[in-house]
Amino acid sequence: MHLLIPFASTLSEAGMQAMRDLALPQLSRLLARLQPAQALGSDEYTLNPPHERALAASWGWHGDDGALPFAAAHAAADGLATGSFAWGELTPVHWHVGRDHVSLADPQDLHLAEAESHEYLEAIRPLFESEGWAVAWGAPTRWYAAHDSLDGLPCASLDRVVGRNVDLWLHAHPQARLVRRLQNEVQMLLYTHPLNERRESRGELPLNSFWLSGCGRPQPVSGGEPVVDEGLRAPALAEDWAAWSEAWRALDAGPVARLLAQAQRGEPVELTLCGERRAQRYSAGRVSAWQRLTQSWRKAPVHDVLEAL
């Protein structure tokens, strides 16, 4: 079993304080049995966060930063025939205009119903098709576009942008100019659109833009399929560190404890912990009774491990 944990760490000062106060006994015992293996990532400014890079590596994918074909993989999972086209994921979003910058709200905060999501996509479809792009619906917050210009187009992952200044993540790549123009056209179209008037009358956030990510042509999955636990994602993006700590405790008592039990039986296990800068993979094979005994004496510095991510 390979357990991959995104958002296992944070660079937020408040989040780091919560992390230092967090007791994770099962993770501590598990790390005492594992050895560091592959490490990925460099800093918090890469377009793909470390958990996406680690997942791509486990699948045997290749690609530059921001150009890993997650859109094609998600489209296939949503039942679309992806063929050999270059795909990009169009996430319907709300851009919040503040005094100093524009930030991107978590798409889940839109609470888009399926029928409403279809209506929005049909409203903006002509803007994309006029540029030769094909668009398709996959789920309320997952739309897709296919076009040759999306092959290798570097885009920031949504997980990098939620809650942050979008200007920091709008890539200056020449192929991205059309994307910026389409974002502007979608914003103008939806500004006074009846769909948004209806939402605002209900006290809901208007849908006023989209985010493009995961561009590229499909690649086969040639490696293993890790179990990805997303329990830390929502509270981390919301910077709700009390909820994040509670989610970590649940993770420690559940999936991490089960992985530890497998390791204690001498079964091969893998763990990948992912922060904002790095993903660190740990592995263990079958060990002797003497190795299990000596490993039980070791105490892994959990907080040091997490803060290094």
pLDDT means per 10 residues, the chain with 309 residues, are 96 93 95 93 95 96 95 97 96 88 92 96 97 96 96 95 90 83 94 93 94 96 91 95 97 97 93 97 68 51 90
Comparing CA positions, the residue from 158, 154, 143, 179 lying closest to residue 49 is 158
What are the residues whose beta carbons fall under 8 Å from the beta carbon of 94, sequence distance 6 or more? 104, 105, 107, 109, 110, 205, 206, 207, 208, 209
- Return the amino acid letter for 85: F
What is the CB-side half-sphere exposure of residue 141 using CA atoms within 13 A?
13
pLDDT of 277 reads 97
First to last CA, the chain: 22
Integer Cα distance of 244 and 150 in angstroms: 35
Say if CB 146 and CB 85 are below 8 A apart: yes
**Dihedral class, residue 295 (left if φ above 0, else alpha if ψ from -120 to 50, else beta):** alpha
Q: Where are the beta strands (DSSP E) in 227-309?
A: 227-228, 269-274, 278-284
pLDDT of 297 reads 47
Pairing of strands 209-216, 87-93: antiparallel
**Which residue bears the tokens 């006023």?**
208
Say if CB 238 and CB 106 are below 8 A apart: yes
Q: How far is CA 294 from CA 18, 26, 91, in A?
A: 31, 17, 50
Say if CB 154 and CB 67 are below 8 A apart: yes
Say if CB 143 and CB 92 are below 8 A apart: yes
Integer Cα distance of 96 and 298 in angstroms: 48
3-state secondary structure of 301: coil
What pTM value is reported for the model? 0.91
Which sign, positive or negative, has the C-alpha torsion 33, 225, 223, 275?
negative
